Chains A and B, each alone.
Chain A
Amino acid sequence: MTAKISITVTVNGTAQAADVEPRLLLADFLRENLDLTGTHVGCEHGICGACTVLMNGDSVRSCLTFAVQADGAEVETVESLGSIDELGPLQQAFREKHALQCGFCTPGMLMTATDMLRKYPLETDDDIRDGLSGNICRCTGYQNIVAAVRSAADKRDGK
């Protein structure tokens, strides 16, 4: 067995120190070591997007990132967007637009949408669809998710 490596990752604002195998995926580190099970694993090959988190502000696939690569980085997961009693504005938009059904793709959608809203103007709904094209949903047909992100974008733009 390969020797473990000591890492410190700041997750949702809290520094987390751990000794991990080099091959431990960031997704598994979050879910198993830190009990942050909001990040979901859907495919382990970077296609479905369910595992998307933010690393140093950028959306990344936590199933394609090793925990050791997050050493010294700031990671934000869905748990940082709000709580059950106080949903964040993006989560609230998802709720209002009925943008989730089974909820399994939802954390990844929220993290991708968070990054998209920061990086792109999203002038049209096609732009939103493009931005979400790396997150697969099988329940909603995407329509309401697009509406939720549109509503968040409008808020962002003061509309």
Chain B
Amino acid sequence: MAALAASNGDAKVLAGGQSLVPMLNFRVVDAPLFVDINGIEGLDLIEEKEDGGLRIGALTRHFALETSVSVRDRFPVLHEAMKHVAHLAIRNRGTIGGSLSHADPAAELPMMAVLLDAKIVAAGPDGEREIPAGDFFTAPLTTVLAPDEIVVAVDLPGLPAATGWGFEEFAQRRGDFAVAGVAALVTREGGTVTNTRIALMGLHDTPVRARSAEAAFGESGIEAAAVAARQDADPMNDLHGSADYRRHLAEALTRRVLTAALERAVQ
């Protein structure tokens, strides 16, 4: 903390380094000082909470999340998403705190945080604060973290029983950043859908909830939701896909994840 504060915003926090170091090697980022937080004790624990959720330490490596039985049982959608995160060597080092702080709109963990209504716990010289995931990401690669703050934990509230999930990501190759991704949680009680959450990845400046798709699903079902997802997306044109194509994917992937989530909600 002290080192970060003393550097007046010039220092970069180094956790897994899987996003930061490439930029350093390309010399597109120049940081005179690194604060390597890998040694901080106690930040890599996955704790089960009484509400059925998890508190995940910021230094928890992706591989630990991928293989965690607690994650698999309590948040199967996160378990699925972890399989798509880069490759084993990256997962061995990359951390959830790092991924959230890096805030790539096409990355899995930021989108999971938004989908799962995560509370992101940040610590600074003035103490800790909890930031709802929906407020945490403000622009591509930008969060509300102050220069002297770091993420220390991620709190995932427990999900109701009978919540089905769906996760679909489209990338040019296995492990690449998503061209587009959609995830959904659907809770059924009795025969009725009581809760729907749909989150989008790679389809906006930040990961977002697809609010019109959620509303349309509640009113008219899967098809309407899929079409509405196009409005929730505000994708960019880049080398890997045009905005039109990404909007198309928003619809197609939303259809797939809602279908899967409904099926799983019944089981």
Contacts and interface: CB of A to CB of B under 8 A. Distances in A.
14 contacts: A44-B26, A45-B25, A59-B89, A61-B93, A63-B25, A64-B17, A64-B22, A66-B17, A69-B14, A69-B17, A115-B89, A115-B92, A119-B88, A133-B174
- With most chain A CB atoms within 10 A of its CB, the pick from B18, B21, B89, B92 is B89
A155 to B, nearest CB: 20
A65 B17 contact: yes
A44 B36 CA distance: 20
Contacts of B18: 46, 61, 64
Interface string B21-41: 110111000000010101000
A63 B17 CA distance: 10
Interface of B: 14, 17-18, 21-22, 24-26, 34, 36, 38, 63, 67, 86-90, 92-93, 173-175
B93 A65 contact: yes
A112 B89 contact: yes
A50 to B, nearest CB: 11
B88 A131 contact: yes
Please report whether the interface of chain A is mostly helix, strand, loop or mixed according to DSSP.
mixed
Contact of B88 (A45, A46, A116): A116
Contacts, number: 74
A138 to B, nearest CB: 14
Central interface residue in A46, A61, A68, by most chain B CB within 10 Å: A46
Interface of A: 22-23, 25, 44-46, 49, 52, 58-61, 63-66, 68-69, 112, 115-116, 119, 130-131, 133-135
Most buried by A among B14, B63, B93: B93
B34 A22 contact: yes
Contacts of B34: 22, 66
Given A64-B17, A69-B17, A44 B87 contact: no
Q: Which of A44, A61, A119 has the most CB of B within 10 A?
A: A61
